[in-house]
Chains A and B, each alone.
Chain A
Amino acid sequence: MDAKQREIADKIKKILVENLRLPEEDLTDDAKLFGDDIGLDSVDSLEIIAGIDQEFGVSMMGVDREHFQTIETLSKYVMDNLDK
């Protein structure tokens, strides 16, 4: 993860902690957000989409599920789609 993606990943982590009441210590970059690790559901994904749209101006509505797997995949998608 380069410095730019790191910065995005940290902002996403902050969104998850503040908007979804997740404990920061459980949020490693590769923790499976929707799997057994964290256990998010479809309502949470709407909140993530709204948070990322607000923070970065990147719309993830209708984007493939694979990009939502971890903080790493989310931050990569945001980085690749910034200013598009």
Chain B
Amino acid sequence: MNDRVVITGLGLICAIGSDVDECFDNALAGKVGIKEVKSVEHSGCYAHIGGENNGFVTPDGEDRASALCIKAAEEAVADSGEGVFDDPSRVGVVIGSCVGGAVSIEKFYRDYVADPDKASGEDVLKMPISAIANNVALRFGAQGAVDNVANACAAGTMSIAIAADLIRSGKADAVIAGGSDPMSSLAFSGFHALHALDDEPCRPFNKSKGIALGEGAGVLIVESYEHAKKRGAKVYCEVLGSGVSSDAHHITAPAPDGEGMQAAMERSLGNSGIKASDVDYINAHGTGTPLNDSSELGAMLRVFGDEGNVSCSTTKSMVGHCLGAAGSVEAVMCVKAIERGIVPPTAGYADGDISLMREKAGNFDFVPNKGKQRKVEYVQSNNYAFGGNNASIIYAKEDAPRKLAEPNDERVFVTGFGIVGPLGNTAEEYAANVNAGAEAKKCEECGDFVSSVGREDFDAVGIKLGFYRKLDKLSQMTCVSGKRALANAGIEVTDDNARRIGIVAGTSDGPQTEIANFQKGIIENGTEKGSAFMFPNTVYNAAPGYLSIAAGIKGYNVTLSNGAASGIAAVAFAKRALLTTQNDVILAVGADEDSETVHMLYGKIGALGKGMILGDGATTVVLERGSSADARGAKKYAEVLGSGFAHCPTEFGKYGCADKLKEAIALALAESGITEKDVSTVVTCSNGTESLGKAEEAALAGLAGAKRVNVKALCGESRAASSALSVAHAAMMLGGMIDGDAGKYVLALGASAGGSYNAVVLAKA
């Protein structure tokens, strides 16, 4: 098994430098890059500072998030030496981001508010987080697993953990992994509205008065040990185990007891087979807000004690909080600390602060102001995010002793569904309407297929007014579909199983309506007038975050964003996560919304009126390990066999070549141990767009005998909701909920504008 995963290349840009060595040397010297912000208008705000890299000018025609990421990726790829890309189909790209194209979003809505006709479709294509990994893949020709991780401030750490999992499960030889986020009015105004900004450079764990925002990108070449050795690459360090958990507490605030943070830290240690006392250095999340710092410090003291054996610092005190890039910027700092045997400090300590810190943290070592030489064999890096998502990962010196958790070899089954869409708000209603040949709801003015969620839906799943009034439509649909799916599967979430139930969510466009409303508000009223109520909903992982809170789910929690195929990608990803993490059940959710705003955005890029009709909804597919399903006597609708993905480097917004869809299908069939002639039914991914239809016809040439089903013809191109629905529909056919003999094996397909293709094989259970 390829269980050894190493880092072979580094790239970094942030407020204290434009390459890895400049940033790390400045960090060791305690240089603070937080000063007056230039790229956001903040004259009416109470705080004015942040960590920008003003020397980096976004190239014309590009978005800043992608441009920063490509800059860091170029450095990392060059650093990794010759031969990484020998087989491009084995090279993936996994990028974390929180606000994605926020700079382009601001530009678009500034133009739009001035004159709706002036706002350009080119800017629309730069908005979504999906664009970033696609742009990186296009730049370097990567053709393997391409995805974005959208778990807000934990995304950068998760992207590296996911890259390592892809390599360990044999899906890639190398992955360009990291994170990127720009300074933006969206984030500045949002954190200002929450009164979470410090008006002085932040002093995490020390004064804890708030955060300073930062910007930047960190990119790492994550590679299989064998692949790296074979090509004679330099190895910086190894990536060991990781841990992901959810608080199920509050959409913005961490749980005060820090239990979820502690669970993530303990899982990363446990999955690496090392003890807390082995850890030499912790790069803490340490944002500087009072709530984060007290929860996190409590959790660290419980895990590591207060003797001072481990050194802990937060580099955010120098570079600011880079949100979705934070974990990847910090990863580069950790890797350099291992390489050079010196750990970066926490800046901002004044005389007297240290004795005050002794009172609350004993001898715990915060590495004040200057880097410190010491043994650095094992490093833990931690990040926590809106939605209550916690992530922790271990980096170690090459050959350091470890005993990684073994993946299990259980079978994975579909044991329930929750479907909110234009054909009804439960799986039962969906199946009944499909069987009856009923027509889906359409909006009269715009012609799109539309879902609607109301008070009766929340009453039915036991979500109270005080909770659901906060939700935007994406979150509403997600919460109802997730809660319905748990009920449909007969799963009751209890204190005992909460940490063994997880969520993998996929979304193409995220909460674009809430983002538009928030951004238009600050364009019209000023950065200082951002809505504290709306801001938490503008992050892509808010919807699954709300679901985790509403359902009490405390296990795995990852949000993926890579176009319309994100829903089926979530199913494939969830299956892998059931084998490699301590979860018995994972809800794979695909969700995307339609609205006047979303309709306008798709109109701007010229995607409407060419055969494609938009829709919206949320589909939850309950995936469960066989042992868990058997133990509780659950009904198994279908077995998830294998999956495949392939990427055709394509300009973002266009569909890629047929060859890569064919390759994704071949990979899925091979992993399932079947051939084209075994497939009895195909749930197709075509959506009325001519280029995609042609690619699909060509890719399915060898499957002419199979029955074809298409859910987008029933309820529109609901993007991630449709691609997850393709899997749900297949499982319902196999399980007898939907009429028509599906045969034994069903192949479900997904396609994203940007060039990514996914295939999943389901079998009769």
Partners in one complex: yes
**A21 in contact (CB, < 8 A):** yes
Residues of A within 8 A of B464 (CB): 39
Residues of A within 8 A of B465 (CB): 23, 26, 38-39
Residues of A within 8 A of B423 (CB): none
Inter-chain contact B469/A46, CB cutoff 8 Å: no
- With contact pairs A43-B252, A46-B194 given, residues A19 and B533 touching in the complex (Cβ less than 8 Å): yes
Residues of B within 8 A of A23 (CB): 465, 469
The listed residue (B193, B253, B466, B533) touching A38 by CB distance below 8 A is: B466
Inter-chain contact A22/B533, CB cutoff 8 Å: no
Inter-chain contact B529/A46, CB cutoff 8 Å: no
Within 8 A of B (CB), among A28-79: 38-44, 46-47, 50, 54
Inter-chain contact B533/A44, CB cutoff 8 Å: yes
Inter-chain contact B531/A19, CB cutoff 8 Å: yes
Nearest Cβ on chain A to B385's Cβ, whole angstroms: 16
Inter-chain contact B529/A20, CB cutoff 8 Å: no
Nearest Cβ on chain B to A46's Cβ, whole angstroms: 4
Inter-chain contact B469/A22, CB cutoff 8 Å: yes
Residues of B within 8 A of A21 (CB): 469-470, 533
- Measured in the bound complex, the distance between the Cα atoms of B531 and A50 in whole Å is 8
Query: Which of B253, B464, B531 has most A Cβ within 10 Å?
Result: B531
Nearest Cβ on chain A to B701's Cβ, whole angstroms: 51
- Measured in the bound complex, the distance between the Cα atoms of B467 and A26 in whole Å is 15
- Measured in the bound complex, the distance between the Cα atoms of B253 and A43 in whole Å is 10
Residues of B within 8 A of A43 (CB): 194, 252, 532-533, 536
Inter-chain contact B466/A47, CB cutoff 8 Å: no
Count CB-based A-B contacts (< 8 Å).
39
**How many interface residues does B have (CB within 8 Å)?**
18
Inter-chain contact A54/B529, CB cutoff 8 Å: yes
The listed residue (A26, A39, A47) touching B533 by CB distance below 8 A is: A47
Inter-chain contact A46/B195, CB cutoff 8 Å: yes
Bitwise interface map of B from 528 to 539 toward A, beta carbon under 8 Å scored 1, else 0: 010111001000
The listed residue (A22, A38, A47, A54) touching B532 by CB distance below 8 A is: A47
Bitwise interface map of B from 172 to 199 toward A, beta carbon under 8 Å scored 1, else 0: 0000000000000000000001110000
The listed residue (A20, A42, A46, A54) touching B193 by CB distance below 8 A is: A46
Nearest Cβ on chain A to B563's Cβ, whole angstroms: 30
- Measured in the bound complex, the distance between the Cα atoms of B573 and A74 in whole Å is 49
- Measured in the bound complex, the distance between the Cα atoms of B525 and A6 in whole Å is 27
Residues of B within 8 A of A41 (CB): 250
Residues of A within 8 A of B250 (CB): 41
Residues of A within 8 A of B525 (CB): 54
Inter-chain contact B193/A50, CB cutoff 8 Å: yes
Bitwise interface map of B from 503 to 545 toward A, beta carbon under 8 Å scored 1, else 0: 0000000000000000000000100010111001000000000
Residues of B within 8 A of A20 (CB): 469, 533
- Measured in the bound complex, the distance between the Cα atoms of B715 and A17 in whole Å is 32
Residues of A within 8 A of B470 (CB): 21
Residues of B within 8 A of A54 (CB): 525, 529
Nearest Cβ on chain B to A14's Cβ, whole angstroms: 15
Nearest Cβ on chain A to B173's Cβ, whole angstroms: 45
- Measured in the bound complex, the distance between the Cα atoms of B536 and A43 in whole Å is 9
Nearest Cβ on chain A to B593's Cβ, whole angstroms: 16
- Measured in the bound complex, the distance between the Cα atoms of B308 and A45 in whole Å is 40
Q: Closest A-chain residue to B455, C-beta based?
A: A23
Nearest Cβ on chain B to A38's Cβ, whole angstroms: 7
Q: Closest B-chain residue to A21, C-beta based?
A: B469
The listed residue (B252, B469, B532) touching A50 by CB distance below 8 A is: B532
Residues of A within 8 A of B529 (CB): 50, 54
- Measured in the bound complex, the distance between the Cα atoms of B193 and A42 in whole Å is 12
Inter-chain contact A47/B469, CB cutoff 8 Å: no
The listed residue (A19, A39, A50) touching B466 by CB distance below 8 A is: A39
- Measured in the bound complex, the distance between the Cα atoms of B533 and A47 in whole Å is 6
- Measured in the bound complex, the distance between the Cα atoms of B253 and A75 in whole Å is 29
- Measured in the bound complex, the distance between the Cα atoms of B253 and A66 in whole Å is 23
- Measured in the bound complex, the distance between the Cα atoms of B470 and A32 in whole Å is 18
Residues of A within 8 A of B195 (CB): 46
- Measured in the bound complex, the distance between the Cα atoms of B535 and A43 in whole Å is 10
Q: Closest A-chain residue to B471, C-beta based?
A: A21
Nearest Cβ on chain B to A62's Cβ, whole angstroms: 11
Q: Closest A-chain residue to B193, C-beta based?
A: A46
Nearest Cβ on chain A to B436's Cβ, whole angstroms: 34
Residues of A within 8 A of B469 (CB): 20-23
- Measured in the bound complex, the distance between the Cα atoms of B575 and A2 in whole Å is 63
Residues of B within 8 A of A40 (CB): 466
Nearest Cβ on chain A to B535's Cβ, whole angstroms: 9
- Measured in the bound complex, the distance between the Cα atoms of B275 and A13 in whole Å is 55
Residues of B within 8 A of A38 (CB): 465-466
Q: Closest B-chain residue to A39, C-beta based?
A: B466
Query: Which of B464, B467, B469 has most A Cβ within 10 Å?
Result: B469
Residues of B within 8 A of A50 (CB): 193, 529, 531-532
Q: Closest B-chain residue to A22, C-beta based?
A: B469
Residues of A within 8 A of B467 (CB): 39
Nearest Cβ on chain A to B699's Cβ, whole angstroms: 45
Nearest Cβ on chain B to A57's Cβ, whole angstroms: 14
- Measured in the bound complex, the distance between the Cα atoms of B529 and A22 in whole Å is 20
Within 8 A of A (CB), among B434-470: 464-467, 469-470
- Measured in the bound complex, the distance between the Cα atoms of B250 and A41 in whole Å is 10
Nearest Cβ on chain A to B291's Cβ, whole angstroms: 10
- Measured in the bound complex, the distance between the Cα atoms of B193 and A54 in whole Å is 14
- Measured in the bound complex, the distance between the Cα atoms of B521 and A19 in whole Å is 12
Q: Closest A-chain residue to B533, C-beta based?
A: A47
Q: Closest A-chain residue to B525, C-beta based?
A: A54
Residues of B within 8 A of A44 (CB): 533
Residues of A within 8 A of B193 (CB): 46, 50
- Measured in the bound complex, the distance between the Cα atoms of B67 and A5 in whole Å is 54
Residues of A within 8 A of B252 (CB): 43
Residues of B within 8 A of A42 (CB): 253
Inter-chain contact B466/A46, CB cutoff 8 Å: no
Residues of A within 8 A of B194 (CB): 43, 46
Which 7 A-B pairs give the minimum distances between C-beta atoms?
A39-B466, A46-B532, A47-B533, A21-B469, A47-B532, A43-B532, A20-B533
Known: A38-B465, A40-B466. 9 other contacts (CB 8 A): A19-B531, A20-B469, A23-B469, A26-B465, A43-B533, A46-B194, A46-B532, A47-B533, A54-B529
* Partner-B contacts on A (CB < 8 A): 19-23, 26, 38-44, 46-47, 50, 54
12 sample A-B contacts, Cβ–Cβ < 8 Å, listed by A number: A19-B533, A20-B469, A21-B470, A23-B469, A26-B465, A42-B253, A43-B533, A46-B194, A46-B195, A50-B532, A54-B525, A54-B529
